[in-house]
A and B are shown apart, each in its own frame.
Chain A
Amino acid sequence: DQQVKQNSPSLSVQEGRISILNCDYTNSMFDYFLWYKKYPAEGPTFLISISSIKDKNEDGRFTVFLNKSAKHLSLHIVPSQPGDSAVYFCAGAGGTSYGKLTFGQGTILTVHP
């Protein structure tokens, strides 16, 4: 039972354009969602989060949108930069899983100069 799904294994974007990474979840008890970024041979690094009571959270070039009715969230990166090339994981937390992050499979983002 995969509670968090990232259906796009990879995404390729031109520098300066928008990157949109998508994530779907099934556990309606999640009350918090997070995006992590991972470079090779490093651990995941926290990027941005959103509470389930909000539908948007913005931090610089990064914006996360949450659509609770569709159980869908997305991460927008504008403008994309080559240094953004990494694996992006979304994760859900809360409810009976408090303290536990449930991760998706990840999406490899490549930003071309």
Chain B
Amino acid sequence: EAGVVQSPRYKIIEKKQPVAFWCNPISGHNTLYWYLQNLGQGPELLIRYENEEAVDDSQLPKDRFSAERLKGVDSTLKIQPAELGDSAVYLCASSLGDRGHEQFFGPGTRLTVL
């Protein structure tokens, strides 16, 4: 069974540029999460989707971050414009609706903003 797929794995951009990350969850997993992980810290939830509905986006900085999960499968997280402080690893995870606590993570996208 394929795991959570994320692309790109690495991204380097200039500040004020836009950037987008893509995630394809494990087949059949209806819940999808985007996490932010800063260096030396644990992952922090940005947004959680159940199917195509964003059920928890309280930690998403909505002035510059946006996300979508069309058709309730894959998802895109966008930052526009990027700031130096956005440099981090962006992790996507998925889970089955009835096993919400056990989340399966992708390899992440490491973003560097110059």
Contact with B along A17-43 (1 / 0, CB 8 A): 000000000000000101010000111
Segment with Cβ contacts to A, from B13-21, B64-72, B80-88, B97-105:
B97-105
Using a Cβ–Cβ cut-off of 8 Å, how many residues does chain A contribute to the interface with B? 24
Do the beta carbons of A105 and B48 come within 8 Å of each other? no
Question: Of B41, B101, B102, B104, which is within 8 A of A105 by CB?
Answer: B41
Q: How far is the CB of A88 from chain B (nearest CB, A)?
A: 10
A49 to B105 CA separation, bound complex (whole angstroms): 16
> How far is it, in angstroms, between the C-alpha of A103 and the C-alpha of B43 when the chains are bound?
6
Residue A7 lies at the interface, judged by CB distance under 8 Å to chain B: no
Q: Is the CB of A49 within 8 A of B100?
A: no
A59–chain B nearest beta-carbon distance, Å: 13
Selected interface stretch from A67-75, A76-84, A91-99:
A91-99
Which residues of chain B are near A104, meaning CB under 8 Å?
42
Docked CA distance A43–B43 (Å): 10
Q: Helix, strand, loop or mixed for chain A's interface?
A: strand
Return B59 CB to nearest CB of chain A, in Å. Answer: 9
Q: Pick the contact of A100 from B42, B45, B102, B106 — CB < 8 Å?
A: B45
Q: Which positions 20-78 of chain B face chain A at CB distance < 8 Å?
A: 31, 40-45, 48, 50, 55-56
> Nearest Cβ in chain B — how far from A52, in angstroms?
11
B107:A99 contact, CB within 8 angstroms: no
Cα distance, A101 to B107, chains bound together (Å):
17
Nearest-CB distance from B110 to chain A (Å)? Answer: 8
Closest Cβ–Cβ distance, residue B4 to chain A (whole Å): 7
Please name all residues of chain A whose beta carbon is closer than 8 Å to the beta carbon of B104 when the two chains form the complex: 46
Known interface pairs A99-B56, A100-B48, A104-B42; A43-B108 also in contact (CB < 8 Å): yes
* Residue ranges of A at the interface with B (Cβ–Cβ < 8 Å): 4, 9, 32, 34, 36, 41-46, 49, 89, 91, 93-94, 98-101, 103-106
